[in-house]
Amino acid sequence: MKKMLAALLAALMVLSLAACGASSAPAATTAPAATEAAAPAATEAATEAAAPAKTYTIGICQLVQHPALDAATQGFKDALTAKLGDAVVFDEQNAQGDSATCSVITTGFVSNQYDLIMANATPALLAAVSATDTIPILGTSVTDFASALAVDAAADGSLGMNVSGTSDGVPAQLYADCVMELVPDAKKVSVLYCSAEPNSVLQADQFIACMDAIGVATEVFTFSDSNDIQSVTATAVEGADALYIPTDNTAASNMTIVSGVCEPAGIPVICGEEGMCSGGGLATVSISYYDIGTACGEMAYDILVNGADISKIPVGYSQNPVKKYNADYAAAINFTLPEGYEAITE
């Protein structure tokens, strides 16, 4: 009897151990299963984290190559590259001073469905606006957006369309004051610009109005392209006490020709911007084209990445115009600048 009882107890112990082993088996097998289930989720999250950000393609149409426009384009690219790195691609094209080529370039940008167009100078802006009313267009080195586009700007300077940007405009009165500081006894000032550039016409008219208010006579001399700059400039300096040239792209690209006429004649040349002045003028009221290009690039980032509405972005202006002069030209015509003018160093 005792032997039977011992056998029975032994059997029960075996069954109990077997049950314990059976209950622990699922715990041993479910952990790997959970790890396998989590692995795809972790892989997917890692894939999403590693996925490249959107790449933005921007078309840049620059009217012509000269230092001011070059600086604005560089500022625009530097600002966006600093923020986006390799996530921004530029298709930069130069129209070599031809408005019709601006149209070809910007039409190509639209056909390629670029994310944004940067138009450097007024003819480039006009071409871009003619090419699209949906793709955001940022202009720079444009004197007066509203006048160029024949629209009424809002009170805050926004244009209510797919266009904004940064202006290179400087109040005409500052140039008139500059002329009178340099040539206080001036009786006649010649005004020289390209008749094909609307921004030049606007600036010239504003300057003439300021000179009229001062009581100094002005005479306008225009050229249609670079072929007649030398002959027109030669006529303009005859009997003039000074020569004023607005921020004219054609003149800016040919300042060596202008200087070649004006320097031997000893004429003080007051230019619309620093690049022109350093190329063959005496003095200017200058802004930084690199800075307005940079500001334009920051606008582009806000539009592309933050979803800003370009129709509500006011046109930007430089707040710090500086009076500068070309020391080489001053020495060549034996001219001493009054205090308050900074020598151009580049």
The b/e string for 65-91 (b: 16+ C-beta within 10 A; e otherwise) is ebbbbbbbbebbbebbeebbeeebebe
Is the model's pLDDT at 19 over the cut of 70?
no
Is the model's pLDDT at 11 over the cut of 60?
no
Q: Are 92 and 123 in contact (CB under 8 A)?
A: no
User: Pick the residue with more confidence: 120 or 5?
Assistant: 120
What CA–CA distance (Å, rounded) separates 204 from 192?
A: 8
Task: Phi first, then psi: give them for residue 214, nearest 5 degrees.
Answer: -80, -25
Percent of the chain's residues with pLDDT above 70: 85
What CA–CA distance (Å, rounded) separates 58 from 91?
A: 6
Query: What is the chain's mean pLDDT, rounded?
Result: 88
Q: What is the mean pLDDT of residues 188-208?
A: 95
Of 163, 124, 140, 122, which is closest to residue 289 (Cα–Cα)?
140
The residues that bridge with 233 in the sheet, in sequence order, are none
Is the model's pLDDT at 35 over the cut of 50?
no
Q: Residue 234 class from Cβ within 10 Å (0-12 exposed, 13-18 middle, 19+ buried)?
A: middle
What CA–CA distance (Å, rounded) separates 139 from 163?
A: 7
The b/e string for 308-346 (b: 16+ C-beta within 10 A; e otherwise) is bebeebebbbbeebebbbbeebbebeebebeeebeebee
Of 119, 52, 114, 107, which is closest to residue 89 (Cα–Cα)?
114
pLDDT score at 251: 96
Question: If pLDDT is split at 50, 70 and 90, which confidence band does 311 have?
Answer: very high
